[in-house]
């Protein structure tokens, strides 16, 4: 990912005669329990430009898939996530409702820490399947043990 980012940045900088970084910071990701958080994460992503006060509604942001998901038009490579008009209206209502603060905090903490987002059962499955550690350790070096 780092190599791809570097080469893409060099290409853009050369093409547009600019210098510096394209992205603010590193790429963040986390495993997600789709049963509990799939829709919440989708709304979180689509509403990022609204929270940043770039636009008033998610579908107004040029670089978002929200418009294609709402209208079903405009991007051949994106298939709308709804199949009929009733589901479309339900999606629009869902998308335009503000995120729950609790969900935003969970998503932010998980993406920054790289820890999975999900139920205890899901987290246990990830620990077993991937051998990852979920417990957050304190920052810094471990304290020396007293003899």
Q: What is the rounded distance in angstroms from the CA atom of residue 65 to the CA atom of residue 59?
A: 8
Rounded-to-integer distance, Cα 51 and Cα 144, Å? 44
Q: What is the pLDDT of residue 16?
A: 87
Q: What digits encode the pLDDT tens for the residues 68-114?
A: 888 777 666 666 666 677 888 888 898 888 888 999 999 988 888 88
Overall size of the chain counted in residues: 147
Confidence band of 47 (pLDDT split at 50, 70, 90): very high
| DSSP character string of 3-61 | HHHHHHHHHHHHHTT--S-SSSS------B-HHHHHHHHHHHHHTHHHHTTS-SSGGG-
Residue 26 has pLDDT above 80, yes or no: no
> Locate tokens 């350790």: which residue?
137
The residues near 98 (Cβ < 8 Å, ≥ 6 apart) are 47
pLDDT at 50: 92
Q: Is the model's pLDDT at 25 over the cut of 70?
A: no
Going by C-beta distance under 8 Å and a sequence separation of 6 or more, which residues neighbour residue 87? none
Label residue 123 left, alpha or beta by phi (over 0 means left) and psi (-120 to 50 means alpha).
Answer: alpha
pLDDT of amino acid 86: 82
Considering the entire predicted model, what is its pTM?
0.68
């Amino acid at each position: 990912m780092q190599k791809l980012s570097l080469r893409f940045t060099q290409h853009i900088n050369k093409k547009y005669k600019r210098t510096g970084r394209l992205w603010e910071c590193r790429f963040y990701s986390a495993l997600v329990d789709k049963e509990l958080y799939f829709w919440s994460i989708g709304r979180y992503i689509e509403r990022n430009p609204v929270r940043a006060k770039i636009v008033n509604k998610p579908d107004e942001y040029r670089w978002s898939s929200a418009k294609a998901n709402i209208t079903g038009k405009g991007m051949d490579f994106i298939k709308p996530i709804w199949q009929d008009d009733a589901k479309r209206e339900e999606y629009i209502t869902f998308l335009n409702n503000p995120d729950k603060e609790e969900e935003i905090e969970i998503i932010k903490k998980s993406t920054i820490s790289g820890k999975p987002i999900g139920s205890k059962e899901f987290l246990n499955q990830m620990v077993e399947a991937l051998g990852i550690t979920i417990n957050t350790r304190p920052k810094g070096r471990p304290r020396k043990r007293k003899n």
